[in-house]
Amino acid sequence: MTEEKESGILRIGDKIPNLTVNTTHGKKNLVDDYKGKWLVLFSHPGDFTPVCTTEFYGFQKRYDQFKEINTELLGLSVDQVFSHLKWTEWIKENLKLEIKFPIIADERGIIAETFGMISPKKGTNTVRAVFIIDDKSIIRVILYYPQEIGRNVDEIIRTIKALQESDKYGVAIPHNWPDNELIKDKAIVHPAASDEEIEKRKLQKEKGEIECYDWWLCYKSV
């Protein structure tokens, strides 16, 4: 076990711990209850705060888009569950939108500490962390935002779609996909790592199977 693991810090590529948490939808198990699903586990500094309210509104407005890509949402802060419930009630009554995904009440900060969601320089509240976890319970992306800046929910959706595309076709995904300036919605073929693979790339290009700027920058439709 590495030193990072011993301190409870999780990294990209780690499997998340099989923890049971208290949420606004009752008890949830981070592994068992999300088997076969992608999961966005995200923390916010606190209930009844302006930026967090805009974020939760944004996540809920796109909840159907997450479901379309086999993804569930799970919020978290160190507030108590009754605070979460009162806050989501306020959102429903005043903003006319029901928050339909669960929120973890991490009162003791155990989940936040395990996932590294608390920054000592930002007090005891959770920062704006995002963990994108795949359908095998593996952490694929970790994002951190400061308390004063809200997240871009559309970028989180784009990232999940890109990961799923990469996994399915064994390709790499370019900047700003699917609207990349060079290759638009096409995907990058992994660079050749030998003379034999270079010749293979050239032959694939001649056959029209891939397009290339050079042997190390090839792409195709998927």
**Counts for the chain of helices (H) and strands (E), in that order:** 7, 10
Is residue 89 within 8 A of residue 83, CB to CB? The reply is no
Which phi and psi angles does 212 have, rounded to 5°? -145, 145
Could you list the active site residues? 52
pTM of the model: 0.92
Question: What are the residue boundaries of the structural domains of the chain, listed by start?
Answer: 3-151, 170-222
Average pLDDT over residues 211-220: 96
Beta bridge partners of 8: none
pLDDT tens by residue, 173-197: 999 999 999 999 999 999 999 999 9
Is a pLDDT exceeding 50 seen at residue 4?
Answer: no
Cβ within 8 Å of residue 99, ≥6 positions away: 56, 60, 88, 91, 92
Burial of 177 (0-12, 13-18, 19+ CB in 10 A): buried
The rounded distance, in Å, linking the Cα atoms of 43 and 14 is 19
pLDDT tens by residue, 78-120: 999 999 999 999 999 999 999 999 999 999 889 999 999 987 7
Is residue 45 within 8 A of residue 127, CB to CB? The reply is yes
CATH number for 3-151: choose from 3.40.366.10, 3.20.20.60, 3.30.70.100, 3.40.30.10. Answer: 3.40.30.10
Q: For 170-222, CATH number?
A: 3.30.1020.10
